[in-house]
Chain A
Amino acid sequence: MNGTEFMTIRENADIKIIDVKTDLSSYAASDLRKVLEGLLSEKVNKVVVNFSEVNHINSTAVGTLVGIAKRLRQNDGDLKLCNLASTLTRTFNLIGASSVVEIYETEKSAIAAF
């Protein structure tokens, strides 16, 4: 699975790292779902999503991440998020999704958590 116009994929050992390069409203959320489901179909089970270039996320995108995290865990893997702006963390907290998806301050700490 390659990235898209809005997302690129890197590797660190057996971990795939997605760099999101756009704000995640409903339009871009469908792109995020495609990329993550592509990785699932390739049997990837450890994924980090880097949000350093993201200023906005809506509930559709949060729901997508929650759903993918659950599916990765069923495959003995996980989804971890890093570099979230405070407004993004707040959205996760309001929804309650931060109890489902692990959020780390840095990419390094997210990778180390696997």
Chain B
Amino acid sequence: MEKTYIELKVPSDVYYLESVRAFIGKLSETLKFPKKRIADIQLALDEICSNAVYHGSKCVTCGIQLRISVDPHALEIVVRDKGGKGPRDWLTPDKLAEIQAQRSPTGERGHGLYLIECLADVHTLQANAVGGTDVTAIFYRDGQTERG
């Protein structure tokens, strides 16, 4: 099986994220991920896309792009946004580490990035050329262990 790609563009509105979650759930099922791992993939993508809508979009029509690739070893998801209204100065390894260190289990916010880190086998954030962020999450198919 060669590497295959699927691309989706979704409006920057959480209303549409249910459909995205359903899609990735069905794809993961087709790829024979275990049931609990499918829930992990769906939750990680929900968190990534919610962040892209809330923090990485200036308007609904800006949209977010998903590039999903599949090969025999992994399912890789890249979510690209075009940047929100706020500054992007948090997108450095030091600042990200600081944000994570400030996370409190008893807090109401700030758990999204932490969850993605827990659930994905690989997770990266990178500034992109259009002024936004590319978030990558990789889930290995080999072994397909359940995490956490």
Contacts and interface: CB of A to CB of B under 8 A. Distances in A.
**How many interface residues does chain A have, given as a range?**
20 to 34
A66 B17 CA distance: 23
Contacts of A26: 14, 17, 46, 50, 53-54
Interface of A: 23, 25-27, 56, 58-60, 62-64, 66-67, 70, 86-87, 90-91, 93-97, 99-100
Contacts of B108: 63-64, 66-67
B146 to A, nearest CB: 10
24 contacts: A23-B21, A25-B14, A25-B46, A26-B14, A27-B14, A27-B15, A56-B39, A56-B46, A58-B47, A58-B50, A59-B47, A59-B111, A59-B115, A60-B112, A64-B108, A87-B36, A87-B39, A90-B36, A90-B39, A93-B148, A94-B115, A95-B111, A97-B105, A100-B106
Contacts, number: 72
B46 A96 contact: no
A78 to B, nearest CB: 15
B111 to A, nearest CB: 4
Nearest to A55: B39
B51 to A, nearest CB: 10
Looking at chain A's contact residues, the main secondary structure is: helix
Contacts of B142: none
A107 to B, nearest CB: 23
Interface of B: 14-15, 17-18, 21, 36, 39, 42-43, 46-47, 50, 53-54, 105-109, 111-112, 114-115, 118-119, 148
B19 to A, nearest CB: 11
Nearest to A62: B111
A56 B111 CA distance: 16
B36 A95 contact: no
Contacts of A70: 106
Contact of B107 (A58, A60, A63, A86): A63
A64 B42 CA distance: 20
A56 B105 contact: no
Contacts of B46: 25-26, 56, 58
A27 to B, nearest CB: 5
